[in-house]
Structure 1
């Protein structure tokens, strides 16, 4: 994936990733959710956090 430096595109990327996270979260049935489902959610949040830190670092370099 190509690095994103435009702030508007960074925000849009994060919004899209959060929307996907919310869709996955909504689709999980709390009655049948297992550890794998929870691990997948945690990984998604970790990925979003990592990308946020990358964007923050690029912003600080400017």
Structure 2
């Protein structure tokens, strides 16, 4: 798919971008119109982000 993210600065930038995307999604959610699928999608985003953090923690420079 894309190039591997190997450098610590690249990894940090990637995580910041993903977190920013997540926060933007949260900002645009209307609680009264939110469905279970929306919440599942948010949980999936957090799980993916957590997985990347763990993956980056185990990589060596």
| TM-score, normalising length: structure 2 | 0.91
Could you say which structure has the greater relative contact order, defined with CA pairs below 8 angstroms and 6 or more residues apart?
Answer: 2
**Hey, what does 2:58 align to over in structure 1?**
57
The DSSP-based 3-state class of the residue aligned with 2:12 is helix
Query: Any unmatched runs of 5+ in structure 1?
Result: none
Q: What are the residue-to-residue correspondences of 1:23-62 with 2, within 5 Å?
A: 23-59=24-60, 62=61
Query: Any unmatched runs of 5+ in structure 2?
Result: none
RMSD: 1.0
> Deviation above 2 Å: which 4+ runs of structure 1?
none
Aligned residues: 60
